[in-house]
Structure 1
Amino acid sequence: MEKNNRKQMAKRSYGSQFLKKQTIERRSDKAIYVREEYHERLSRILNIIGNGNIPLYAYLDNILKHHFELFGEDIIKDYDKMNKPLF
C-alpha cells in the first residue's frame, strides 16, 4: 500500500475506523482464543469508547481488515518468497 493511503487511514478517528458494526453473522464466525489481558482491554475499549454497542467479533474484524489493508502487500511478498511454485 502506498504511503498516502496509510496516512489517510491514520487521519481517520479511531472510532470511525474500528468501532463500527459489521454485517457478518455471529453464527458463521469461528472461535478464536485471545490472551486474557487483551480480552479485558478490548472489552473495556468496547464498553467505554464503543458505548457497549459494538460486539467483540465486529471490533476484531475491523482490526484485522485494517491490518490486511496496511500490510497486505508485505504479506503477499513474504508469502510468495516462501511458497515457491512447483514448476
Structure 2
Amino acid sequence: MNKQQQKQPKKVLRIARYKTVFLRPTGVVARCGKSVYICPDFHKKLSRIVCILGDGEITLTDYLHSVLKQHFEDFGEEINTIHARNQKPIL
C-alpha cells in the first residue's frame, strides 16, 4: 500500500469527524445570544460553509457554537494558563 492509499482512510475519518463535530444542530437560539460582528469576508465564508456543507440543517449560530466549543476544549488549558500568568494583584 502506498502513502496515498494510507492517507485516504485517515482523510475519510477526519471528514466524518468534522461533520459530526461541526455540521450538526446545537439547539442554541440566536435571539437568546449576543450580537457579534465579523469581517465581511469571514461572514461570506461561514455562510457558504453552513449553506453548502450543512445541507440546510444548521444555522450560522449552530456552526459558530460548535467551532468555539471545540476551540475551548482544545485550548482551554492554554487559555487558563495565560489568564493566570496575566493576573496581577489588585493591592
Shift of 1:86: 4.1
* 2:57 alignment partner, one of 50, 53, 58: 53
Which residue of structure 2 lines up, in the alignment, with residue 35 of structure 1?
39
Which structure 1 residue ranges, 5 or more long, are not aligned? 1-9
State the structure with more CA Rg: 2
Q: Could you tell me which of 20, 30, 55 is aligned with 1:16? A: 20
Q: For the residues of structure 2 that align with 1:47 and 1:22, how far apart are their CA atoms?
A: 16
TM normalised by structure 2 equals 0.76
Secondary structure in 1 matching 2:67? helix
Q: CA deviation at 1:30?
A: 0.4
How many pairs does the alignment contain?
A: 78
Give per-residue Cα distances to partners, 1:6-64, cap 9 Å, x unaligned.
Answer: xxxx9552111101111222221100011111111111111111112211011001000
**3-state DSSP of counterpart to 1:14:** helix
Q: Percent identity?
A: 37
TM-score, normalised by the number of residues in structure 1? 0.79
Relative contact order (C-alpha < 8 Å, sep 6+): which is higher?
A: 1
Give 1:34's aligned amino acid.
I
Query: For residue 69 of structure 1, what is the aligned residue in structure 2?
Result: 73
| Cα RMSD, aligned residues only | 1.9
Which residue is 2:3 aligned to? Answer: none
